[in-house]
Structure 1
Amino acid sequence: MFRSYLRLILFTFGLLVGVQVPGFIDDYAKRVEAHRLEAEQGLKGFRATAKRFFKGDLDALVAHYRVSDDPVMRNDAQSVSSLVSRAQLLEREWRAMQGPWYLRAWHVVLGADPELRKETLAAYNYQVLLAPGAIAWGLGAGLLLAWLVESQFVLLGWAISGGRSRKVQERHWR
C-alpha cells in the first residue's frame, strides 16, 4: 500500500514539474525576443551610420572608430563592438527558439545563453498550464520519474537479496 502511495506522489511531483517545462521555454523565448528588440533599438543609429558610410557593415564602422584620431571615438569603439556582439548573440538565440518544440527544449537545456537562462529562472512564476503541450510534458515527466525511482528500488532490492527473488528465497527456507 505504501508503495502505491509513493508511486502516486512521485507521479504527481513529476507531473507538476513537467507542466512547468513549456511555460519556462516560452518565458525564455519571450525574454530573448525582448532583449533582441532592445539591442536592435540600441544599434539603430549605428546601423544608419554604417549604412550611410560603410555599406551597412557594422564591423567596418567599429574598425573605423578604433583607428580614429579622436580619443572619444576610439573609446566608443569598444562600446559599439559590445552592442554588435550582444545583438548577434540575441539573434542566434532568437533563431534557435523558432524551431519545433523538441529543438527549443534541447536548446534551453544545453545550448541556451547561461545568463539569459538564469535571468529567466529568477523571474519565472510557477504555473499549471492546461495546454496540450504542458499536459504531455507533465504526464511524460510523471511517468518517467515514477518509473526511474521504482526501478531504482527494485534494483536495490535485487542487489540486497543477492539476485534471488523472494519466492526463490522462501523455497530454500522450507
Structure 2
Amino acid sequence: MMLGYLRLVLFAFGLLIGIQIPGFMDDYAKRVDAHRIEAQEGLNGFQATATRYFNGDLDALVAHYRENPDPIIRNDADSVEVLVRRSRLLEAEWDALQGPWYQRTWHMLTRADNTLLQETYSAYTYQILLTPSAIVWAVASGFLFAFVVEGLVLLLASLFSIGSRPARHMR
C-alpha cells in the first residue's frame, strides 16, 4: 500500500514539474517578442534613412557610415551595426518559436539564446497553465518521472539484492 502512495507522490511531483514547461516556454516567447519589438523601435529612424537612400538596406547604411570621413559618424556605425545584429537575432529567434510544439521545444533545448533564457529563468514565477498542451506535458512528465525513478529504485534494489527473500524449502 505504501508503494502505491509513493508512486502517486512521484507522479504528482513529475506532474508539477511538467506543467511548468509550457509556462516557461510561453514566458520565453513573450520575452523574445518584447525585445524584438524594442529592437525594431530602436532601428526605425535608421530604417527610414536606409529606405530613403539605400533601398532599405541597413548594411549599406552601416557601410556608408564606416566610409564617412567624419569620425563621429564612423563611430556610430558600430552602434547601428549592433542594433541591426540584435534585431536580426531576435527576429530569427521569434521565427523559430512560431513552429509546432516539438520544433519550439527542440529549439529551446538546443539553440535558444542563453542570455534570454537566463533573463526568463530569473524572472520566471511558477504557474499552472490549464491549456491542452500544458496538461499533456504535465501528465507525460508525471508518468515519465515516476517510471524512471521507480525503475532506478528497482535496478538499485536488484543490484544490491534488497527486497529479495531467500526461497524457503518445504520438507
- Shorter-chain TM-score bucket reads over 0.9
Q: Are 1:166 and 2:164 matched, yes or no? A: yes
Specify the alignment match of 1:71 in structure 2.
71
CA pair 53-152 structure 1, distance change in 2 beyond 3 A: same
Q: CA deviation at 1:2?
A: 3.2
Q: CA deviation at 1:58?
A: 0.7
Q: Aligned runs of 1:1-174 on 2, under 5 Å?
A: 1-161=1-161, 166=164, 169-171=166-168
CA pair 172-91 structure 1, distance change in 2 beyond 3 A: farther
CA RMSD of aligned residues (A): 1.9
CA pair 173-127 structure 1, distance change in 2 beyond 3 A: farther
Q: CA deviation at 1:171?
A: 4.9
State how far apart, in whole Å, the 2-side matches of 1:86 and 1:128 are.
Answer: 32
Report which stretch shifted further, 83-92 or 58-67: 58-67
CA pair 80-172 structure 1, distance change in 2 beyond 3 A: farther
The size of the alignment, in residue pairs, is 171
State how far apart, in whole Å, the 1-side matches of 2:42 and 2:115 are.
Answer: 20
Q: CA deviation at 1:86?
A: 0.2
CA pair 9-70 structure 1, distance change in 2 beyond 3 A: same
Q: CA deviation at 1:170?
A: 1.5
Structure 1: any 5+ residue segments left out of the alignment? none
In structure 1, give the amino acid aligned to 2:75. N
Q: CA deviation at 1:161?
A: 2.4
Q: If the length of structure 1 is used for normalisation, what is the TM-score? A: 0.91
Q: Which runs of 4+ in 1 moved over 4 A?
A: 171-174
Structure 2: any 5+ residue segments left out of the alignment? none
Q: If the length of structure 2 is used for normalisation, what is the TM-score? A: 0.93
Report which stretch shifted further, 147-156 or 117-126: 117-126
Higher relative helix content: 1
Q: Identity, % of aligned pairs?
A: 58
In structure 2, give the amino acid aligned to 1:89. L
